[in-house]
Amino acid sequence: MKVYTHFKNIIIVCCLLFSTTAFMAAHASQKTVSDAAPRTDLPPLPIEKTGNVEVLPSQFPETWMYVDESSFMSMFGGKMILLDVAESKHSERIKGTADKNLLGNFIQAKKRPEFYIMESFHSRGARGPKTDVLTIYNKTTMATSKEIIWPDTRLQSLPRRHAMALTPDAKFLFVANFSPAASITVVDLDTKEITATIGTPGCVLTFATGKRSVSSLCSNGGMLTTVLDQAGKLKSQHRIKAFFDTDKTPIFERPVIIDEIAYFPSFTGEVHVFDFSGEVAKYIEHWSLVTEEEKKKNWRPGGLVLNDTDEQGIMYQIMHPDGYDGSQTHGGSQVWLFDMKIKQRLKVIDIPSWAVSVAVTRGKEPLMVITNGELQLDVYNPRTGKLVQTISDFGNVTPLLIHKAY
């Protein structure tokens, strides 16, 4: 008890000394500052700019790409990341980002300085009434320029290229809805107003067709083409008979489109060819991506975003051996390059780190970008088949879809 009292007294004395010293120091400092004359020999400090917005070029370099970071583990932190996939310096790769909530879908306009994100918000974060919003962005500042509250329930799924489509002149935007009734909403991009919502019973997705039409895949294995008038209203609809059996010979709803010709791969490696150049979609033919010998080894297409095309008209297709019912979502160990016009395979590129998705940059000497099994980006030179670099730590969690940037 005596020891405790002794230390207690020492602590009290120390506290009093510290308080007195601090008070005297503060008083002296205040006196010194108040007595000091202002310095007139120093130049004035420059005014610091805050909130400065950098402006991107109106035409992006060929190696820039939009990475669709869906943030699948939470779905609330999704974003579009504008990335230079050829840049070796980590600090200089990212050019800009834009928010994209709840598995939003993205499309960019080639003839307007804009891109569009169809996204959703709940009033209480993860719960409460949901509002769907079409957000329009200025592509050079990555800033929002307009929001359109959606009258219907948009198609909400894993990111995909054909949830939205633009007419060739970028006058109208088509957006797929699923509420669960299927429909398409049309937006006039000149006025930024909705012109129509058109029912597409049993048919979903949007494939731009002709000058003022859009086609959708149907649950019976057929196709539906919706034709607009000049005001963006419904003019007519045309059903194309079934071209595959949804139970026995299912296809991927993710074609590559080359010069308005669409190539839909099937789960077993057939490719169905559609002509989207006219007012109404027209079925042309089907043929096989795999040889008879490769069929014996069950080589099949697979992946989330399993194909893309370069500007020379070459299709890049993810493939895997030993395929079975259900393996179509797993990705693959190789990418096969095809000249679709002559129906010939040109090259096979091995992907040791496994390919989940594939994308190709613009230009005469494109780069191939793979979302690998670790959800990083592997950049390949498709001419040599060699790995150029692996990109990670750019905010990637689930970079499931990659778009060319224009």
pLDDT tens per residue, range 179-208: 889 999 999 999 999 999 999 999 999 999
- For residues 148 and 26, the model is more confident at 148
Alpha-carbon span 373 to 331, nearest angstrom: 9
Is residue 363 exposed (0-12), middle (13-18) or buried (19+ Cβ within 10 Å)? middle
Residue 219 pLDDT: 96
CB 289 within 8 A of CB 269: yes
Give the sign of the dihedral formed by CA 175, CA 272, CA 292, CA 385.
negative
- The pLDDT tens digits for 297-323 are 999 999 999 999 999 999 999 999 999
Report d(CA 206, CA 215) in Å as an integer. 6
Burial class of 10 by CB neighbour count within 10 A (0 to 12, 13 to 18, 19+): exposed
- Enumerate the domain spans of the chain: 111-288
- Give percent of the chain with pLDDT exceeding 90: 81
Q: Does domain 111-288 have CATH number 2.130.10.10?
A: yes
DSSP at 46: P
Q: What is the pTM of this model?
A: 0.86
pLDDT band with cut points at 50, 70 and 90 for residue 46: confident
Strands 193-199 and 203-209: unpaired
